[in-house]
Copies of this chain bind each other. A is one copy, B any other.
Amino acid sequence: MTTPRNDTTPAELDATLERAATAFPLLAGLAPDQRAVLLRTVADALDADADELVPLAMAEAHYPEARCRGELARTTFQLRLFAETLEEGSFLGAAVDPADPDWGTPRPDVRRLMLPLGPVVVFGAGNFPFAFATAGGDTASALAAGCPVVVKAHPGHPGLARRTADLVTTALAGAGAPDGTFALVEGMETGRRAVTHPLTRAVGFTGSVAGGRALYDLAVSRPDPIPFYGELGSVNPVFVTNAAAAARGPEILSGYAESATLGSGQFCTKPGVLLLPEETDLTPLTGALADRGPAPLLNDRVEQVFSDTLGTLADHPATEVLLRGGPTGEGWTPTLLRTDLGSLIEHADVLLEECFGPATLVVTYEDERRLLEVGAALRGQLTVTVHGEEADPLAPALLSLGSSLAGRVIWNGWPTGVAVTHAMTHGGPYPATTAPIHTSVGTAAIQRFLRPVSFQSVPQSLLPRALRDGNPLGVPRSVNGVHEQS
């Protein structure tokens, strides 16, 4: 199925961002619980249209139906969770410091509130056509913050993007959102123009290191640089200690095979490197991978990059091919490569590149303590996973290594499947993201689109209501730096 291109013209983009800028103060001025209604209305509209949306996703992203239905459910759950976040109110960061003549600096009355940044441009991911795309996490968190959103449609699923955008636009209009609250634009050049457009105040991006870095470079080169929240790439290493391999080797290997091939290995959290003792019997892994049938990749471009990256890895003198997969008429079968710990460290620049697709690398070690040396070879990660036993002497050091490298550290589990919760971090140092102090999944993602504003000596009647004496909105606040008891 081919959907004809429909690139947004520069004049259309200007008009779109002008509508977004006009909508901004109106959207920002809505009470949080009014914005919550908007998000729920969007979620309801998407759920109601599932039987139309899911086949579009299946056709354009080549995923099975269950995966698409599950991802849509995750997406509407996410919208509703941000509605709850708005109603709960902690995101406002409300803080009250009354005047204090005995303070260490002259101290007038100072009160802080988090306010939205302005129009946000969102680049959705190709591999999550719902949850990280048109109405995905970046869109949900920016709208929740009170920022109008202009989504640049992913070229991998233009039909789904358009239908989703129509539903979102109609739902928002029906719920009384300001005109310009949401829009879809198309075309690669349009995306670049949107990042450099004077009215754009922040960018959310999920995709490749190459694509994300190019757009990041545009955002930071503007006359007025703007925040660019890019979630780029990760190899998501999995460390297996001697004790864990001895206790649960086959179980770990079959779990790994499943996680590494979810979505044909096209997850940003795909475990790409498995480090385990050299005496481990790899049969459960090779067997499980060999049993996987072929699965199609997202699109020709993903397939080309995967084929090239895999070729470089497989041809590298430091690797051997334990299972040679490849393209069939119905997609790709998985490939398993192997190297040893010393070679991994020596050739980290090649062997620790993300290989997005159904391939993974086993790294065997002789001496467990050398696992810690891998830290210096690894760049920033979305996740680090440790399989160990609770009394494992190396466990604390591996968890500590993980927390220094990644935004999420997983114990005896798998990195695929990022729960949408309050305490979740989907982020990490570059190149996992371009903004290491943030998360793009979970309710804390809203913070990326809010800026603090402090009001000094402003009379009660002119203060935002969340900051007035007596806390008339009943929002969580800090007073003198301490959580206010309600």
Contacts of A379 in B (CB 8 A): 224
Picked from B115, B217, B410, B421, the residue with its CB within 8 Å of the CB of A457 is B410
Contacts of A418 in B (CB 8 A): 105
Q: Does A207 sit within 8 A of B, measured CB to CB?
A: no
> How many interface residues does A have (CB within 8 Å)?
92
From residue A241, how far is it (CB to closest CB) to chain B in Å? 12
**When chains A and B are docked, how far (Å) is the Cα of A435 from the Cα of B225?**
9
A449's closest neighbor in chain B, by CB? B437
Q: Which of A95-103, A252-260, A290-298, A299-307 contacts B (4 or more CB under 8 A)?
A: A95-103
Contacts of A458 in B (CB 8 A): 399, 409, 411
Picked from B380, B406, B413, B476, the residue with its CB within 8 Å of the CB of A108 is B413
Q: Does A481 sit within 8 A of B, measured CB to CB?
A: yes
Question: Are A412 and B448 touching (Cβ within 8 A)?
Answer: no
Question: Are B399 and A425 touching (Cβ within 8 A)?
Answer: no
Q: Does A322 sit within 8 A of B, measured CB to CB?
A: no
Contacts of A90 in B (CB 8 A): 478, 481-483
**When chains A and B are docked, how far (Å) is the Cα of A118 from the Cα of B427?**
16
Question: Are B227 and A443 touching (Cβ within 8 A)?
Answer: no
Picked from B420, B437, B478, the residue with its CB within 8 Å of the CB of A450 is B437
Given A117-B437, A461-B390, residue A25 in contact with residue B404 (CB < 8 A): yes
Question: Are B220 and A455 touching (Cβ within 8 A)?
Answer: no
Q: Does A139 sit within 8 A of B, measured CB to CB?
A: no
Q: Does A377 sit within 8 A of B, measured CB to CB?
A: no
Question: Are A105 and B380 touching (Cβ within 8 A)?
Answer: no
**When chains A and B are docked, how far (Å) is the Cα of A411 from the Cα of B201?**
27
From residue A478, how far is it (CB to closest CB) to chain B in Å? 6
A485's closest neighbor in chain B, by CB? B485
Contacts of A454 in B (CB 8 A): 407-409, 423-425, 439
Picked from B74, B403, B443, the residue with its CB within 8 Å of the CB of A115 is B403
Question: Which A residues are closer than 8 A to B by beta carbons?
Answer: 25, 73-74, 77-78, 80-81, 84-85, 88, 90, 95-97, 103-108, 110-112, 115, 117, 201, 216-217, 220-221, 224-227, 379-380, 390, 395-396, 399-400, 403-404, 406-413, 417-425, 427, 429-431, 434-439, 443-444, 447-448, 450-459, 461-462, 476, 478, 480-483
**Given A97-B422, A225-B430, A413-B456, list of 10 further CB < 8 A pairs?**
A112-B424, A225-B434, A226-B430, A403-B453, A408-B453, A409-B458, A411-B462, A427-B451, A439-B454, A483-B483
Mind listing 13 A-B residue pairs with CB under 8 Å? A74-B104, A85-B481, A97-B421, A97-B423, A105-B420, A107-B421, A110-B419, A110-B423, A112-B424, A115-B403, A407-B452, A411-B462, A412-B457
